Structure 1
Amino acid sequence: MLTVTIDEIQQNLTSYLQQVAAGESIIIMQAGKPIAEIKPVSATSQQIRPYGLCAGEFIVPDDFDSPLPEEILNSFEGK
């Protein structure tokens, strides 16, 4: 894991991003303290989830898109 300052990353952003793309993680430091981490996107987060992944997992009621009851609307409006 590479550690760099804000100034270093501003001056060489493209170079550091190439390192991240190659699999390296970078910690950005400010005043000697870590403030951010840049890391490669994992292969699993790049995969497209298939349509219907949760099919049959829950049931949407028939009145799902009907207006809310008056007492619930009033509580949202602070009445």
Structure 2
Amino acid sequence: MKPAPATITVSIKEAKTRLTELGRRVEAGERVVVTRHGKAVFDLVPHERKGGIDFKAGQRFLRARGITDPVPYIAEDFDDPLPEDFLSRPLPFD
């Protein structure tokens, strides 16, 4: 289990004058609570990168289930415009 990051508390006025220093401390993993009249207003915390799609993990997942090619065939005309007569045909209603 990771230890909790150190926390310091500063006023807004102090934060304005020490922003560069506070930024370095946040980069080092500390949390800074900024207050106004003694009440917490906001925190300065290290930026967390959001994860994206892990394609390699997806490939491993599919391979483990015997799926080696999830999209085995895509027709050459897949993204061609649809024919006009198809587009003008009324929709079937049940």
Q: Give TM class, smaller chain.
A: 0.5 to 0.7
State the partner residue of 1:49. 52
How many positions carry a matched residue from both structures?
Answer: 50
Matched, 1:17 2:23: yes
Deviation at 1:23? 0.1
**TM-score under structure 1 normalisation?**
0.56
Q: Which structure 1 residue ranges, 5 or more long, are not aligned?
A: 54-79
The residue aligned with 2:38 is 32
Query: CA offset at residue 41 of structure 1?
Result: 1.9
TM-score (norm 2): 0.47
Q: Tell me: CA distance 1:3–1:48, structure 2 relative to 1, closer, same or farther (3 Å).
A: same
Counterpart in 2 of 1:2?
8
The Cα of 1:48 is off from its aligned counterpart by 4.2
Q: Partners of 1:27 and 1:13 in 2: how far apart? A: 12
**What SS does the corresponding residue of 2:30 show, helix, strand or coil?**
coil
Q: Which one has the largest radius of gyration?
A: 2
Q: What is the percentage of aligned positions where both structures have the same residue?
A: 26
RMSD (Å), alpha carbons: 1.9
Within 2, Cα distance between the matches of 1:32 and 1:47? 32
